[in-house]
Each structure stands twice: as structure tokens, then as C-alpha cells.
Amino acid sequence: MSTILVANRGEIACRILRACNEAGYSSIAIYADNDANSLFVELATTSVRLEGESIAETYLNQNQILKIADQYGADAIHPGFGFLSERADFAQAVIDAGISWIGPSSKAIEMMGDKMTARTTMKAAGVPVIPGEEIEEDDEHEALIAIKSASERVGFPLLLKASSGGGGKGMRVVNSSEELDDAVSGARREAIAAFGDGRVYVERLLSGAKHVEIQILADTHGRIIHLGERECSIQRRHQKVFEEAPCPTMTPDLREKMGQAAILAAQAVDYVGAGTVEFLLASSGEFFFLEMNTRIQVEHPVTEMVTGVDIVREQLRISEGEPMSCGELSIRGHSIEVRLYAEDASNNFLPAIGPLVVFKPPVGPGVRLDTGVREGDEVTPNYDPMLAKLVVWAPSRSEALQRMRRSLEDFVVLGTTTNLRFLRELCDQEDVINGSTDTTLIDRAWPYGWSPNISNSLSEAALMVAGISEGSGKHRKSNSSDASIDNGPISPFSTLSRRYP
Amino acid sequence: MSTILVANRGEIACRILRACNEAGYSSIAIYADNDANSLFVELATTSVRLEGESIAETYLNQNQILKIADQYGADAIHPGFGFLSERADFAQAVIDAGISWIGPSSKAIEMMGDKMTARTTMKAAGVPVIPGEEIEEDDEHEALIAIKSASERVGFPLLLKASSGGGGKGMRVVNSSEELDDAVSGARREAIAAFGDGRVYVERLLSGAKHVEIQILADTHGRIIHLGERECSIQRRHQKVFEEAPCPTMTPDLREKMGQAAILAAQAVDYVGAGTVEFLLASSGEFFFLEMNTRIQVEHPVTEMVTGVDIVREQLRISEGEPMSCGELSIRGHSIEVRLYAEDASNNFLPAIGPLVVFKPPVGPGVRLDTGVREGDEVTPNYDPMLAKLVVWAPSRSEALQRMRRSLEDFVVLGTTTNLRFLRELCDQEDVINGSTDTTLIDRAWPYGWSPNISNSLSEAALMVAGISEGSGKHRKSNSSDASIDNGPISPFSTLSRRYP
Amino acid sequence: MRYEFRIDGEVVEVTLSKVDDIWSLSGNNASILPDGRIRLVSTDGSVFFAHSAKVGDTWWIHIGGHTFCIDHIEPGAAEEDEGSGLTAPMPGKVLQVLVEVGQRVEAGQPLMILEAMKMEHRIVASQEGSVSEIYFSEGDQVQQGVPLLELSIS
Amino acid sequence: MRYEFRIDGEVVEVTLSKVDDIWSLSGNNASILPDGRIRLVSTDGSVFFAHSAKVGDTWWIHIGGHTFCIDHIEPGAAEEDEGSGLTAPMPGKVLQVLVEVGQRVEAGQPLMILEAMKMEHRIVASQEGSVSEIYFSEGDQVQQGVPLLELSIS
């Protein structure tokens, strides 16, 4: 391997491109027109424009990406997460083109990608799975009948999930049979739009359970290890917002049991590379296989912080056919990641857009920011609203929480609504402080939706700042005649217009 | 302890203030007028102006600082490094005022601060010391006679060091007896100016040796531990520029021996808190006590990165009378720190000044920046020219070096000359790559001084960029009528005038 | 100096005084730093460093770990007529139209489903009424802020 | 467009051509990014992102991990007369004056010792000659760039 094409964008493309640069590889970034000025484009040795407009024409366009790989001499492709990362056909096409696929075999992707096959395989391998039923019917009407019948056996509350899905798309909680019709059609519609496959399956909803996942690494020399767990229970709209390692209620015994189950799961599909086996951990201590993500994960940094393993760098090594370089598992301290979303947490987490007029991340020891954006960038509705991941490490969980609070207060983002304050107040929730985190935490904490806790005196201070800003001439328009300067370096004195008024 | 006064400035004040904030303490910053807009002033709960102009009237003004501590209710003082951190009389005055001194007893500072007492104490405690002689004479003429006589017994090359000094001030290498007169008067002059004490001592210069130091921590419950070593051999003008942990040639055996010697040294002065015992490590494997720094050190972050101990946080705990929270020593991966100085490395490291028109630190996993400055600040000749410390961590030394190279190339500082490029090329020195670092490395690598290695095509590209910048109107003056905006947010388009033309 | 702002839907008048470079408001004092931030000393002595930036008529302000959006109301500007139109919260595509013109709807009833950023968003009736206009049909792209349908309130 | 610059003491003429938003110079092409940086594609296809900022007449440029200081020479500006004066490299205090007016000195001979940033700096003779003027005495504060003494070259 000498040249690695990164078939992704945003923060994960930045993360991978930096790893490629540091490891001495040439790197190729690919970008759609609306990403021409994005950070990741600058981090690659070579950046190649993708023709087309929609995601399907660009980042999901297998043929175009393979053509670029060939034309620019890429001998490996790193898919990141999302996009083509779990497309078995793409993995196979890459391998068939004589290019290294930085990930597991297409067979492993396929078996884990289809939730039904995955469940069957896991059952056979002796990995515990959640009570639930697979719905094979593809036709809308037949599927509904089958789901109704399954729901009677599985019981409410239940979860509908897209068979070939992930990331919360096509997922619905159904509390009673009356809600079933609506939920099925919504879930199927989203699943078809996102994955081109409307099949769903029905699963018992284990309320009060923790979402705990095990990071695994497997090399081509037959070595397969786990790097301990991450807890990612705190979710909104079925998307993780707060992730940590280790899980606050984990015991060394249970870690070893879950780690061994994850290794069994990986072995069942002859896994190679980095992957994550997700489990639901019930308060009883029982755990159930949820799914395996056959790629790098958004929340991989918390594992890196506590284990000292550079997971992306190990992916590169494994793809080179080298043995992985990390030794035995040792966990040190505590790490927390929060996801910075452009969204309005006080309005049902509605995605937001706008210019990042000011974007000043926190600094200091034990603070890591994985970002795909920088000051002056524009948040558009074209892609996922996740802007960055703020990660902290500290010797203990309480110190990590303290550091996260400080970091969230120091983080300044102006011009686009973000969930910063929501995350900050999340850190003060009693259940977060004492580690009683489960997947229902946000709903329990704010049953009627979240709104910020603001003192009158702070509002008054903010109004005073607005008055001073207005009165001090900070608002006057830039009157430069040079177009390239009008869009120029974003300062508190620039006046921007939203592109989407 | 509820309110901690930080009697320092710059990056170490920022480091300590953040630790105070995260640990839930109120903090007080003190600042001279020329620091009124400095970063550290903003990080404290309360910031108090120091009256006076010179350093002696401000940061070294014990009475004024004690008065502020009393007036604002500080119940502890953290001295950082430099300034009053190793002034035994100040430590005692703080304790006498009923305020906690975050450091060892004044007795310990005194014993270690006077190099002669320190040597005697170490000899008695069985810690090996460098062959050398203590010169007690204070009078210039008598001192010279005594030094001449001592030099005959110690032999050339030798080192003159300020008895109460540190940081390379008042230090001279003397290669032959002809150089002695000049060196003695220069060393004494600098020592008197810096420490008010002209006494020097004469020490055999161990060329080819490594500078290796052991970090220790001692709490008030009788526990005393070492956190392994740092190697800081690479120095220019006797000041460290490149520090790493662990030392690349260290063995577990030697680490334990040196660690135990450091603990003996600390025990000999009933040490409490964080401290560092510096050794010279000869290529034979013998090591000799150099001095003990009775305070936090500039290069403490590399130890934090590999051991996972937050040393400043432990200082606070120890001062509270709590047992330290860290467990057994475990070293993971490799960490390197370089010191970013405002200086002209191609002109004998002459300190530089100017505006930090652009200051963009590198980012990414495993990169930590401890800085006291930010974009828009001015580097003045009032203080030490160290601007920031760039620290990287990676699983292995070679990966850490790769990360450091990438980080140094990504670091953009415009408006003030820095040693960034020097540090970058330092990382490519064969002796640095293979760990054969000793205190003579920089002199050996660049016997006639360093100058950057620039390709013609890059110079041409730079000229082209200058032409485009000049031609695109980037140079036109800001023509705002509002004074507060003229000094405003520093953008690539602003035109600044040096304050020192 | 007197300004009118809208914060959280409420219109507030702010009257500042200024002596030399110090601005004051009911015991709080503030000054502008060389880098454009505002240093505010509140009545209880605590110090805040505020960032501010203007986008359109809106001041974005970061202070004390909170971010505020405060609209400046230009002197003499007419209050916006919010009407009973239901507008697109962000650019996206109309996935489904769930009602017809003339249909009676209850408060909270879903009227339209938009897709944006790969997620579905429901447009729901803000109050009881009947649908008087529908401006888009399935598959249409809509820009942020455009009216999607109109309700006449009964 | 033609500009004159001084780089490393050497005067260089730079002639740029510009078509639309693309600047060119002997096969290198460059354009200005929205954030003010310059994207440069060199003849061998490698891409650089350059930062630039001007302080006085000097362009500070970061490109390819290097930082350059390039002085712009205003058209028609007279060349500076560097003379044989020895100037203060930075603000500081005169610690010692080692020579007298009229004294002959060799190249490299120390003439004065300055203290700045707590370090000593020697001012040495750039060439052989005799001291014609001394502008400061011990204890004086000096500003950066001011002449300290004058040599007449023999």
C-alpha cells in the first residue's frame, strides 16, 4: 500500500487522512462540489472532484469512485463510516479491482449487514440475541400482517428496525398495537429512502437497558482481540449523543464475558480489521447481541483514549498484512465523547443550518476535538448535522465529567444553533453523574422536551452585550469592493447573510 | 482550600487555572499591566491587577501578592514555575500568613535551591553527584581565585553554574583556562541580575551525557512515588527545546534505580508535593544528581501523557492533605514536547518579538497544546520568549515523531519569528530518530549554526503567494473610524504595525 | 443609547449608558476588548467574556456557557405578521401531503411530512381550523421559511 | 502584474499573470480561497495551502511547513542605506560598553553587551575599522532598530 483513497467526508475523513499522512502514505480525498472548500479536502495529498450533485451521484457512486482510484493510482480504499462503508458489493468491487479494502471481507459485511442473517449466525455461534422476529416479507401489505402477528408473540413495547439499516433511520418505537400501522409505513418509507430496502424486523424493546458495545480488532495472522467496551446509552432520536469508556457499571468479569462474546461473533464471520459488536446490557447483567458494525465507528475515540490504541492506524497495519502492534488490553482513566450537532435541542432536535461565524473549540490538557468544520464554514442541509466530536480524558470519571462541563462552556459556536447547551446540562443530570445511564435517559429527564435553564441576570447580560454590539458599530456592513474579501475571514465584525434566508 | 491564587502568568498559569476550575475551586489570577489582555487573565474566577512596572514590582513582589491573597480571600497559592516558585522566603511568608503553599516546605526549597547545600545533602543521602567543587566566596576577586584552583582539580571542559540559579541563566561552558576570566565575570553578572546572588560553582562537564530527570510526587500521608523519567537532553543556550518520555535508551532496571535515587533525594529533604530530580546519565549507565526542581516543571506534560497522571491535579489534592489518587506507575506509549519560542533559530536563537497576526495550532488525535498566547496577541520583550508547548502522544516513539513532524508543519504562526522550522528539521536528525540524543546534539548537528533547508521551488511558490497577496488587495489598510475596531480581530487582511518599529 | 430587541419571542427595550469606554446597564459594566469580545462585570463582581456576531438582524451571543439569539428590531420597522401560515423549518423535500384544501384539522394534527437531512419532519397544525391553501405537492423541493400551507382559524 | 520583493537579502522581481480568478507564474497556478488563504498547484501537481499576512512592508507567508518573510519594495522607493551602523536587534538595556571612540576594532570583536529578555547579547563589529560614534552608555534603555554605535571602515 502506498496511496490510500478515503471514500468519505467530514470529520472522519479528516481523522483518516491525518493517520495516512502520519503513517507516510499518500492520500486521496474525493469531494462533491458542495465540499470543495471543506477541511478534509485540504488534508489529502491529492483531492479529486466528484461529478454529480446528489449523494447517490457522488459519495455513493461506486463506479465513479473506482474510476478515480484507478486513475490516481490508489492501492487501498478506506470507507470511514456511513456512505459505502457497509456495502458488501462495493467492498467486493474494490477487491476485484485489485485494490485493498480497509475493512472486513464482503462476506462478513453482508452477513452482519442483514440483521436477520446476523441474528441467525449469532444464535448459531452461541452469542445471545434479543427476543424478536425476522420479517422476510417485502410487500407492504404482507409485511404489515406478518409484523402484527409477530408483535403478539414479542409483546409491546417493541422496536421496528430496518433490516439493512443503521443510525436510527427507519427505526420506530411502538408502545401499543394502535400505533403499529403508522409506525410500519413510516419505518418502511425511511428504510427504502435510506437503504433501498424496506424490510423491517420486530424486536422486544428492553427498556432500562444500557447500550454497551465492544470494540474488536482482528489481523490476518489469526490474532483477534477486544479493546473493552464503550457505553453509548444516551441517545436522542435513536442517535448517540454521549458516549463513554469504560461503562460506569462494568465489572472486569462482565467485560471479559462480553469481550469473549464479541470475539465469538467476529470469528463466526471470519472477521478481519476493526469492528464493533453492539449489545444491550439489561440491569440483570444479561446481555444481548444487537448488531455488529463492520467498520470504524463514530465513537471510536473514547476507546483510543482509555486503551492507548490508535484504531485507525491499526486498520492500516492490518490491511498491510502486518500483525497489529497493540499489546494486551489495559484500560486507563475515563473518556467521554459528546457529539456536537447543528440542531435545536429545544425544538425536538430539529436539524439547523447556518454559517459558523465563530467556531472556537475548547483547549487544554485531556481535550480532543475531532472536527470536520472550522470557523467560516457553512452548515448546509446536504449532509448529516454532526459537526464535530468533543472528547475528554481524565484519570477518573468524575474528573472527566468536570472537564467535559468546562469544555462545553468554553466552546463558542455562533451563527448556527447547536446542542452545546443541551450537552452541558446533560452533564448535570443526576443519572449521568452516578452512571445510571440507559437508553431512556433523555426521555425520562425531559419528558416534555428540553429547554435551557437560563437565569434572568444572564439574559440581561446577553441583552446588554447585544446592545453594546449594536451600539459599537460592530454591525456595520463590510463595504469592500473585492468579492474575494467579502466572503473573507470571518470576524466578529463581519455581517453575514444566511444562504438560506 | 476553596480559593487558589495563581502567582504566575502565561501558559503555566493557564494550565493551573484550568485545573482549578475543573476541580471546582475559585481561582485568582494576578497580572501586570502589560498582561491585562493575556489569556490567563480570562481563565480565573477573579483577576487582580498588580501595581508596578518591572517584574520585581509585579510578579516578584511578595508583599503585593500576599496583600492581594489576603484581600481576595485566597486560602492557597500555586506559584507555577519560575518567578517566586523556588523562593523559600516567599513560601514561608505564605505559610506564616495562614495560606496553603502548593509546594514543598520552605526548608526543602532552601536546601535544594542552594546548589552547594543540595550537593552536600545528596552526598550524605547516598545519591551520586557530579565531580565538582562548591565555591563559597562571594567577592568577585576571591571567587575567581578559588574557581581557578578548583578548575585544576575538576579539569576542563567544565561548567560554571549559578549557585541559586536555573534555566541556563548564569551558566557558562569553559573549555580551557584562558576562557575562565571572561566566563566567570559573565556568569556572575547574569546570576546577580537574575537571582541577586553571584555565587557560582564549578562542575565537570560530562559531554555526551543525557539529561534525564525523574518526576516524583509525595503526599502528607507518607506516600512517595516516582512517575518515571523524562529525557530533556536536547538543549540550546542551556535551555531545553525537545523533551520526551520515556527516555529512548531507558531500561526498566535503570528506571527503577534512578527512581529510587530520586525518592531518596526527596526523602532527604522531607519533600511534599510534585518535584523533579535531574540527573546526568552517562553513556556508561552511571548517573549523577544535577539538581532538584522543587516545583512543577515546564515539561511535565510528557509525563502526564505516558503515565495518565494529572500532576497539577495531584498537587491540589496533596495540598488539601488528601492522599494522592494515582496508583502504581505504568508507562504507555511515547510522548514528545517541543517548546515554541519566539526566536530566530538561524541567528543564534536571538529572541524575537512582534504581533501574532496568525496563530493556528495543529489539531488531531494525540496532539496537545499548552499555550499562553492566542491569535492577535503581541510578543513583547517583557517576558520569557516561550510562547507555547506542543505535545504529542502516540503508541510508539516513531509514531510520536511522525505526529510531531506533521503537527509542526501544520502549525502556522505569522508576524513573529519562531523556532517552528528548526524544531521540524530537528525531528529529521538521525540522532533524534534513533534516540542517540545527548546535550551536545544541537551543536554537533549544526556546528556553524542552523539555517533552514528550503528548496528553490518552495521559495518561488512563496514569492508567488507574496505577489498574489500584494496584488489581490489583501494589503490595503483598514480604514475604520472606530478605534476599538482598528485593533480588532486579527485577520489575514489586517495590516498591523509593529509596536516596536 | 436605546435599542429594541426580541429575545425568546419577547420584545425588550435596552437602554445603555456610556462613559468613556465603559458601558453600563443597571449596575453591570462592560467594555470592548481589542479582539472584539466584550468584557462584562456584573453587579455581583463576576466577570464574563462575551462573543458576539451578527447574522442578518440577529445577534448571536455567547456568554457564561450559554448561546443567545437576539433579534435587533430596527427603529420604525413594522412587526412581522406571523399569520397562520405554516412554514418550512428548513430546506427539504415534501414527502407526503396528509390533508386536502377545505379539510378541518385539529391542533397537533400532522399536515405534511418533509424530508431534510435524511430525517422525516412532520408539519403539524398549530391550532384548530380548516386548510385554506396548500402550496406544494409530493416530491417538491422547498426552501427554508417558505409557507407550506395556510390554515383559516375558525 | 509585476512586483519587487526582497527575500533573504536578495531583490527578486515577480511577474504574475491572471486569468479569471487563476493566478499563474512559470507553470504554478493559484487561487484565493474564501477564507483568504491561497491554494497553489505547483508544476508537479502538488497542492499547497498558503497563509499570508502583512506587517509593515513585510509579507509573512506559511507554505509547505515553512514560514517566509518577504519584503515588498514599493515602486520607486529608494533602497535603504544600511550604512555601517550597528543597531539594537531588540529592545533592551545596555549592560556594558566595551570600546571607546577612536578605538580600532577587528571583525567579530565585541563592542557592547545588551540585556534583553533576561539574556545577554553581544554586539560585535561586522568588519575591521575604528569606532566613530557611541550613542549609548551603560544602563541606557534602547529600542529595537536604533543605531548603537558607528564604525568607520578603514
pLDDT of B217 = 98
Distance from CA of D12 to the nearest CA of A (A): 27
Looking at residues B121-125, what average pLDDT do you find? 95
Choosing from B295, B317, B397, B424, which is the catalytic residue? B295
Is there a contact between A375 and C14 (Cβ–Cβ < 8 Å)? no
DSSP state, B177?
G
Give Cα separations from A30 to A6, A25, A51 (angstroms).
7, 16, 10
Residues in chain D: 154
Identify whether residues D7 and D69 lie together within a single domain. yes
- The model's pLDDT over A62-119, given as tens digits with 9 standing for 90+, comes to 999 999 999 999 999 999 999 999 999 999 999 999 999 999 999 999 999 988 899 8
Most A-contacting residue of B15, B16, B18, B302 (CB-CB within 10 A), to test interface = B18
DSSP state, A341?
E
Is there a contact between D61 and D52 (Cβ–Cβ < 8 Å)? yes
For D44, residues 6+ apart whose C-beta sits below 8 A from its C-beta are none
The reply to whether residue B353 touches residue D91, judged by beta carbons under 8 angstroms, is yes
The 3-state secondary structure of A164-218, one letter per residue: CCCCCCCCEEECCHHHHHHHHHHHHHHHHHHHCCCCEEEEECCCCCEEEEEEEEE
Residue C121 lies in a domain: yes
* Angle (CA) B133 B137 B140, round 5°: 115
Percent of chain A's residues with pLDDT above 90: 72
Distance from CA of D103 to the nearest CA of A (A): 56
Is there a contact between B468 and D32 (Cβ–Cβ < 8 Å)? yes
pLDDT of B167 = 67
- Output the domain CATH number for residue D117: 2.40.50.100
A42 contact D CB<8A: yes
Distance CA D144, CA B351 (A): 12
Among the partner residues C28, C116, C118, nearest to A169 by beta-carbon distance? C118
Q: Is the pLDDT of residue B429 over 60?
A: yes
Most B-contacting residue of A22, A40, A357 (CB-CB within 10 A), to test interface = A22
Distance CA A489, CA A495 (A): 11
If you measure CA to CA, which chain C residue comes closest to B26? Answer: C46
Identify whether residues D25 and D60 lie together within a single domain. yes
Beta-bridge mates of residue A378: A355
The reply to whether residue A487 touches residue D49, judged by beta carbons under 8 angstroms, is no
Q: How many CB pairs under 8 A join A and D?
A: 22
The reply to whether residue B484 touches residue C34, judged by beta carbons under 8 angstroms, is yes
Q: What is the DSSP string of B319-349?
A: HTTPPP---S----SEEEEEEEESEETTTTT
- The model's pLDDT over D9-20, given as tens digits with 9 standing for 90+, comes to 899 999 999 999
Identify whether residues D67 and D103 lie together within a single domain. no
Q: Which residues of A are part of the catalytic machinery?
A: 295
**Best CA proximity match to A132, nearest among A112, A100, A109, A156:** A156
Identify whether residues C6 and C66 lie together within a single domain. yes
The reply to whether residue D120 touches residue B470, judged by beta carbons under 8 angstroms, is no
Identify whether residues D13 and D67 lie together within a single domain. yes
- The model's pLDDT over C80-115, given as tens digits with 9 standing for 90+, comes to 444 456 888 777 888 889 999 989 988 778 888 888
* Angle (CA) D120 B373 B74, round 5°: 95
On the CB side of A47, CA atoms within 13 Å amount to 25
- Domains in chain A, CATH or no CATH each: 3-102 (3.40.50.20), 131-204 (3.30.1490.20), 210-459 (3.30.470.20)
Distance CA A234, CA A401 (A): 15
If you measure CA to CA, which chain D residue comes closest to A72? Answer: D45
Residue C63 lies in a domain: yes
Percent of chain B's residues with pLDDT above 90: 72
Residue D85 lies in a domain: no
- The model's pLDDT over A411-459, given as tens digits with 9 standing for 90+, comes to 999 999 999 999 999 999 999 999 999 988 999 999 999 999 899 999 9
Which amino acid appears at position C116 of this protein? A
What is the DSSP pairing of strand A3-6 with strand A26-31?
parallel
- What is the CB neighbour count within 10 angstroms for residue D153? 10
Distance from CA of A454 to the nearest CA of C (A): 8
Identify whether residues C22 and C61 lie together within a single domain. yes
Beta-bridge mates of residue C3: C14
Residue C21 lies in a domain: yes
pLDDT of A489 = 26
Higher pLDDT, C45 or A45: A45
pLDDT of A493 = 29
For the four alpha carbons of A188, A191, A196 and A197, in that order, the dihedral sign comes to negative
| Chain A contact set for D32 (CB, 8 A) | 484
What is the DSSP pairing of strand B495-496 with strand B350-351?
unpaired
Identify whether residues C6 and C68 lie together within a single domain. yes
Q: Is the pLDDT of residue A484 over 70?
A: no
Domain end call among C26, C43, C73: C73
Q: How many CB pairs under 8 A join B and C?
A: 21
Round the average pLDDT of chain D to a whole number and report it: 85
Round the average pLDDT of chain A to a whole number and report it: 90
Distance CA B247, CA B251 (A): 9
Distance from CA of A442 to the nearest CA of B (A): 25
Distance CA B181, CA B163 (A): 18
Is there a contact between A332 and C71 (Cβ–Cβ < 8 Å)? no
Structural domain for D60, as ranges:
2-73
The reply to whether residue B460 touches residue D118, judged by beta carbons under 8 angstroms, is no
Identify whether residues D103 and D44 lie together within a single domain. no
| Chain C contact set for A470 (CB, 8 A) | 3, 59, 72
Strand residue runs (E) in chain D: 2-7, 10-15, 17-19, 22-25, 28-32, 38-41, 47-55, 58-63, 66-73, 85-87, 92-97, 104-105, 110-116, 119-124, 129-134, 141-142, 147-152
Higher pLDDT, A144 or B404: B404
Residue C82 lies in a domain: no
B357 contact D CB<8A: yes
The reply to whether residue C34 touches residue B37, judged by beta carbons under 8 angstroms, is yes
The reply to whether residue C46 touches residue B45, judged by beta carbons under 8 angstroms, is yes
Residue D78 lies in a domain: no
A483 contact D CB<8A: no
| Chain D contact set for A484 (CB, 8 A) | 21, 32, 34, 36
Q: Which band of pLDDT confidence, cut at 50, 70 and 90, is reported for residue A138?
A: confident
State residue B60 phi and psi, 5-degree precision: -105, 5
**Cell for C141?**
423541493
Identify whether residues D97 and D68 lie together within a single domain. no
Higher pLDDT, B86 or D36: B86
Number of domains in chain D: 2
Q: Is the pLDDT of residue B476 over 70?
A: no
Q: What is the pTM of this model?
A: 0.83
Cβ density class B60-99: b for 16+ within 10 Å, e for less: bbeebbbebbeebebbbbbbbbbbbbbbbebbbbbeeeeb
Identify whether residues D48 and D16 lie together within a single domain. yes
Residue C124 lies in a domain: yes
Is there a contact between B197 and B164 (Cβ–Cβ < 8 Å)? yes
Q: Is the pLDDT of residue B29 over 50?
A: yes
| Chain B contact set for A372 (CB, 8 A) | none
Identify whether residues C21 and C57 lie together within a single domain. yes
- What is the CB neighbour count within 10 angstroms for residue D23? 23
Is there a contact between C60 and A358 (Cβ–Cβ < 8 Å)? yes
Is there a contact between B173 and B159 (Cβ–Cβ < 8 Å)? yes
DSSP state, B104?
S
The reply to whether residue C34 touches residue B47, judged by beta carbons under 8 angstroms, is no
pLDDT of B475 = 52
Distance CA A142, CA A148 (A): 10
pLDDT of B194 = 81
- The model's pLDDT over D112-125, given as tens digits with 9 standing for 90+, comes to 888 876 667 778 88
- The model's pLDDT over A276-321, given as tens digits with 9 standing for 90+, comes to 999 999 888 899 999 999 999 999 999 999 999 999 999 999 999 9
- The model's pLDDT over A252-283, given as tens digits with 9 standing for 90+, comes to 999 999 999 999 999 999 999 999 999 999 88
Identify whether residues D8 and D68 lie together within a single domain. yes
A56 contact C CB<8A: no
Distance from CA of B440 to the nearest CA of D (A): 21
Residue D102 lies in a domain: yes
